[in-house]
Amino acid sequence: MLIRIVKMNFQEEEIHNFEALFEKKKQYIRNFEGCQFLELYQDRENKSIFFTYSYWESDEALQKYRHSELFKEVWAATKVKFAAKPEAWSVNKIVSLT
């Protein structure tokens, strides 16, 4: 399993538009083949900063999504709302406690 973390910093006036876009597309992303989990977080101090956490079966599954029409559509609509360059990490889970 691969975990993808993406940090996004939005223009203040675009926050609501991004939230509406995510609400509209979240089920399509989550139900994309290979996606096992999807969450969206907002920073408590800086309301312009959001993080997505998604779990993927493999790097191959993530790459398939990143080359899909769904990703191209969502990313094109998202990136025009940024106030800063996004950051992304692909990580392996080492420990999980519940």
Does residue 58 belong to any structural domain of this protein? yes
Q: Tokens at residue 13, please?
A: 């006036």
Provide the domain limits for residue 10: 2-91
Q: What CATH number is given to the structural domain containing 49?
A: 3.30.70.100
Q: Residue 89: what pLDDT?
A: 98
Q: Residue 58: what pLDDT?
A: 97
Does residue 8 belong to any structural domain of this protein? yes
- Predicted structure pTM score: 0.94
Encode pLDDT of 67-87 as tens digits: 999 999 999 999 999 999 999
Does residue 97 belong to any structural domain of this protein? no
Mean pLDDT of 25-43: 98
Of 72, 7, 76, residue with least CA distance to 42: 7
Which string of DSSP letters, residue by residue, matches the chain?
A: -EEEEEEEEB-GGGHHHHHHHHHHHHHHHHTSTTEEEEEEEE-SS-TTEEEEEEEES-HHHHHHHHTSHHHHHHHHHHHTTBSS--EEEEE-------
- Specify the number of domains making up the chain: 1
Encode pLDDT of 40-68 as tens digits: 999 999 999 999 999 999 999 999 999 99
